[in-house]
């Protein structure tokens, strides 16, 4: 790709261009790493507030596929406002890097909590699963499919908190009836059978949609309740065969004390044909999770009301931004950067 054209597209991604990120943020410890990025903690110098910054080397964006993926990730993140989804603050570029500034979630990954705990009790699992469902339900209402739902992409806001937020929109895609999603995305243990049809065929796989996230939610619930993966094999090919056939078991040791209702959700989500899989609206009212979903909704509403009351006391500009954010609307913009 032509260098000038790439540079122009990188500029377009950003709210602010600076010569050196150090003029705005002090970068701190590494929080995590992805395929093309490092996520670091940072302090906004003027606000003296802490954030997480995903640092992407601009050199890696000379590859069209990488650049397109980052454009999609940023444009999706910009549109999202939900208490259970990581909030974007701004995008900054320098000559060498693009910095995606997000709220800091310091409680670590669900993956590590499962490792520490072994597995969740059912009431704890239902509370957590309800939050995850409502975050994905919100995404689906925006016609966005996450395509990489897994414990590594669910973070807790603090070490003491059981409140989660969904991160990593690097594989997320916009779905429409006219243009369903295509291509292989995600992580083998969590990927849906219809997504796997693109594994060794770039042209003739099965187009797919929201149902692929529902499959991953089935795998996720299995992992949360048992501490084990439903699909596991040393060789990737064998693992993919198990997924393609939905071949898994509830092993006596891990599952003997788990309720039939919890297993019923998993059984109805891990269904090969997406048309026969539980839909999100059916899942939200399933007896195992229904009351946890209602509680979670009530908490979200209460928080939004508290924030609105708080914002009413604040100066006019700040109040408008805060109420809009809590109501799930886009806050007003200031010089192209989001007001947080
Ligand atoms: P992948 O290659 O898996 O798509 P990525 O490059 O898109 O990764 P992320 O998954 O978004 O990167 O982030 C990598 C890791 O950084 C996460 O697993 C998490 O541990 C950490 N991380 C990401 N965002 C935040 C955040 N807002 N607060 C704290 N830590 C974060």
Residues with CB under 6 A from ligand 1: 31-37, 39, 52, 54, 86, 102-105, 109, 152-153, 155, 167-168, 170
pLDDT at 320 over 70: no
pLDDT of residue 204: 84
What is the separation, in whole angstroms, between the first and last Cα of the chain? 35
d(CA 270, CA 289): 17
Of the candidates 153, 111, 282, 109, which has an alpha carbon nearest to the alpha carbon of residue 211?
282
pLDDT digits (tens, 9 = 90+) for 83-110: 999 999 999 999 999 999 999 999 999 9
pLDDT of residue 319: 52
pLDDT digits (tens, 9 = 90+) for 148-176: 999 999 999 999 999 999 999 999 999 99
Determine which residue's CA is closest to atom 20 belonging to ligand 1. Answer: 32
| Angle formed at CA 166 by CA 163 and CA 169, multiple of 5 degrees | 165
pLDDT of residue 307: 86
Report the range of poorest mean pLDDT among 31-40, 173-182, 317-326.
Answer: 317-326
pLDDT at 310 over 90: no
> Confidence band (pLDDT; 50, 70, 90) for 34?
confident
Q: Outline where DSSP puts E strands in the chain.
A: 16-17, 25-33, 37-44, 49-57, 88-93, 97-103, 144-145, 154-156, 164-166, 173-174, 333-334, 337-338
> Which of the pair, 202 or 47, is modelled with greater confidence?
47
User: Cβ distance 186 to 135 under 8 Å?
Assistant: no
pLDDT of residue 318: 57
Ligand 1 centroid to residue 41 C-alpha, Å: 11
pLDDT of residue 336: 27
pLDDT of residue 316: 59
Of the candidates 9, 10, 8, which has an alpha carbon nearest to the alpha carbon of residue 93?
10
pLDDT digits (tens, 9 = 90+) for 202-217: 788 999 999 999 999 9
Ligand 1 centroid to residue 167 C-alpha, Å: 7
pLDDT of residue 273: 97
H/E element holding 233? none
pLDDT of residue 201: 75
Most ligand 1 atoms within 8 A of CB, residue of 43, 112, 167 to mutate: 167
DSSP assignments along 85-107, one per residue: BPPEEEEEE-SSEEEEEEE--TT
pLDDT at 48 over 90: yes
d(CA 277, CA 92): 41
Average pLDDT, the chain: 91
pLDDT of residue 323: 45
Most ligand 1 atoms within 8 A of CB, residue of 29, 32, 56, 166 to mutate: 32
> Which of the pair, 301 or 331, is modelled with greater confidence?
301
Nearest atom within ligand 1 for CA of residue 165: 27
pLDDT of residue 4: 87
pLDDT digits (tens, 9 = 90+) for 264-296: 999 999 999 999 999 999 999 999 999 999 999
Ligand 1 centroid to residue 245 C-alpha, Å: 31
Nearest atom within ligand 1 for CA of residue 108: 20
Nearest atom within ligand 1 for CA of residue 73: 7
d(CA 176, CA 128): 29
pLDDT at 332 over 60: no
Nearest atom within ligand 1 for CA of residue 37: 6
pLDDT digits (tens, 9 = 90+) for 108-158: 999 999 999 888 999 999 999 999 999 999 999 999 999 999 999 999 999
H/E element holding 176? none
**For the chain, what is the radius of gyration of the CA atoms?**
21
Q: Is 148 known to be catalytic? A: yes
Most ligand 1 atoms within 8 A of CB, residue of 108, 111, 168 to mutate: 168
Ligand 1 centroid to residue 274 C-alpha, Å: 28
Determine which residue's CA is closest to atom 1 belonging to ligand 1. Answer: 34
> Confidence band (pLDDT; 50, 70, 90) for 322?
low
Nearest atom within ligand 1 for CA of residue 171: 4
Give the pairing of strands 88-93 and 333-334.
Answer: unpaired
What is the arithmetic mean of pLDDT over 248-258?
96
**DSSP three-state, residue 111:** helix
Backbone CA torsion sign across 149, 155, 157, 161? positive
- Domain annotation for the chain: domains and CATH numbers: 3-104 (3.30.200.20), 110-295 (1.10.510.10)
pLDDT digits (tens, 9 = 90+) for 70-86: 999 999 999 999 999 99
- Identify the active-site residue in 148, 168, 189, 213: 148
Ligand 1 centroid to residue 34 C-alpha, Å: 6
What is the arithmetic mean of pLDDT over 230-239?
93
């Amino acid at each position: 790709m032509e260098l000038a054209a790439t540079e122009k597209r990188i500029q377009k991604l950003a709210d602010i261009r600076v010569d050196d990120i150090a003029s705005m943020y002090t970068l701190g410890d590494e929080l995590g790493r992805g395929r093309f990025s490092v996520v670091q903690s940072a302090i906004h110098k003027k606000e003296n507030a802490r954030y997480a910054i995903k640092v992407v080397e601009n050199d890696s964006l000379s590859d069209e596929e990488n650049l397109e993926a980052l454009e999609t990730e940023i444009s999706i993140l910009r549109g999202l406002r939900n208490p259970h989804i990581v909030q974007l603050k701004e995008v900054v570029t320098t000559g060498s890097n693009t910095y995606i500034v997000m709220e800091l979630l310091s409680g670590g990954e669900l993956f590590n909590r499962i490792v520490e705990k072994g597995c969740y009790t059912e009431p704890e699992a239902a509370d957590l699963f309800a939050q995850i469902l409502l975050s994905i339900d919100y995404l689906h209402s925006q016609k966005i499919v996450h395509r990489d739902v897994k414990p590594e992409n669910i973070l807790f806001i603090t070490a003491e908190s059981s409140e989660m937020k969904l991160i990593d929109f690097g594989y997320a895609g916009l779905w429409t009836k006219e243009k369903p999603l295509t291509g292989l995305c995600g992580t083998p243990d969590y990927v849906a059978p219809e997504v796997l049809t693109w594994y060794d065929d770039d042209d003739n796989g099965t187009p797919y949609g929201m149902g692929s996230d529902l499959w991953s939610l089935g795998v996720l619930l299995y992992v949360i309740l048992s501490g084990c993966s439903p699909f596991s094999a040393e060789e990737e090919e064998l693992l993919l065969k198990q997924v393609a056939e939905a071949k898994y078991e509830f092993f006596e040791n891990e599952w003997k004390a788990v309720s039939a209702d919890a297993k019923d959700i998993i059984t109805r989500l891990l269904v090969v044909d997406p048309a026969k899989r539980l839909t999100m609206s059916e899942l939200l009212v399933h007896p195992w999770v229904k009351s946890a979903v209602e509680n979670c909704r009530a908490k979200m509403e209460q928080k939004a009301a508290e924030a609105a009351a708080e914002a009413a006391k604040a100066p006019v500009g700040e109040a408008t931004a805060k109420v809009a954010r809590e109501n799930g609307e886009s806050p007003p913009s200031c010089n192209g950067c989001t007001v947080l």
